[in-house]
Amino acid sequence: MGCGASGPQYEELRQALDRHTQALERNTKAMEAMGRHREEVGPVVRTPVVKYEIGGQEAKDKNDAEGKGIVEKKDEDNKKPLNPAKVYRTTKSGIPILKPYKNKAKKLAILHFNDVYNLVPVNERAGAGVARFFTLVEKHRHLDPLILFSGDCFAPSVMSTITKGSQMPPTLNKIGVHVSMYGNHDFDYGEQNAIKLSRECDFPWLLGNIVGAKSGKPIGEALECVIVEHAGMKIGIFACAEDWTTLMPLQPEDGLKYHDFIEYSRKMVKRLQKEKTDLIIAITHSRLPNDELLAKEVQGIDLILGGHDHLYAVKQVEPHGQIVVKSGSDFQDLTIIEVLTDIERLDSKKGLHGAHATFITTRHSAKPEVKKHE
């Protein structure tokens, strides 16, 4: 009795290989087009010194900054690519405040997605792909949404075996992501590769509860939390993850230390509440049961936007009533969350969810009939 594949099985394998080869060719063409676009636009280079505004004070130049005692942070490498949108001021306690984008929205809308790997669908009959996904984003651009991403994009895919994920920064920049977090697969090609790619993005990367064992600093040069001023609201955002460090194929030389995501989140909520934020969002890269546990155990989080599962889900979790959202995977789905609230009541609230606000979530899928954006 032979141990090889039968005739029908061999044919299925051959067809699958052909499909993946075609997908790789399409991905390669897309990457080449993006490369041409980046050559035309050119890189944005950070100046040697990034100035910070502290406590509402703003410096005109270096001498003015020194006179006012405003903190300056010198870059370790002044040739790092950096979009001006990432240059931020800080609160007195050191939390970065992102430079507003348009900030003209009268109502807060949030666009969320997670776990995207392939720029084009492997199977056109199933739809998806970044071209259709971008059509959906453009359809809601009039809302001036706050766009958040919950990790995993640099790998794995057929294309990333060649590019190591370099096709993703220009893609996410084009989508207009405001804040992102790292997922486990973003470190498939090592921490330094993740750092290199994150520096090419127009937005910050967050993840604070996985740190270097010796340095104690967040992995991948990540930030712990940020504040975004959008739609007349002060929004605090932090990122945490369950312990997937053992899944990382390349461990940093420094080693890793994991901090429990529940205790870490309590710390972040207290820190952001001290800044009188109107809304606190946790973006996570954990399985759904752990996101539900986070909602149950940590009061003060208004919205939990998760990744890692590759499923679509929207759940309200008691006893605190937070909404937990999972937005599918691979450019198949995005979620629009509209926040309806009475701005005048925000100062007296203990949490934006519940009596003070309603979160309306809508799922939008990149089905085959969705026209591809060119």
Give per-residue pLDDT as tens, 300-348.
999 999 999 999 999 999 998 889 999 999 999 999 999 876 554 444 3
Torsion angle, CA of 43/91/282/338, rounded to 10 degrees?
-80
Q: Which has the closest alpha carbon to 183: 219, 134, 129?
A: 219
Let me know: does 110 contact 148? Beta carbons within 8 Å: yes
Q: Where are the domains of the chain?
A: 85-365
Which has the minimum average pLDDT: 84-88, 109-113, 299-303? 84-88
Burial of 283 (0-12, 13-18, 19+ CB in 10 A): buried
What is the overall mean pLDDT for the chain? 79
C-alpha distance from residue 155 to each of 83, 187, 231, 240, 293 (Å): 23, 8, 33, 19, 27
Strand 225-230 with 146-149, pairing: unpaired
What are residue 299's phi and psi, to 5 degrees?
-85, 145
Q: Are 283 and 333 in contact (CB under 8 A)?
A: no
85-365: which CATH architecture? Answer: 4-Layer Sandwich (3.60)
Q: Is the pLDDT of residue 14 over 70?
A: no
CA 288 from centre of chain:
17
- Helix (H) or strand (E) segment spanning residue 173: helix 168-175
Instruction: Give residue-wise pLDDT tens across range 212-264.
Output: 999 999 999 999 999 998 888 899 999 999 999 999 999 898 899 999 999 99
pTM summary value? 0.76
The pair phi, psi for residue 290, each rounded to 5°, is: -75, -30
- pLDDT, tens digit (0-9, with 9 covering 90-100), for 171-220: 999 999 999 999 999 999 999 999 999 999 999 999 999 999 999 999 99
pLDDT of residue 169: 97
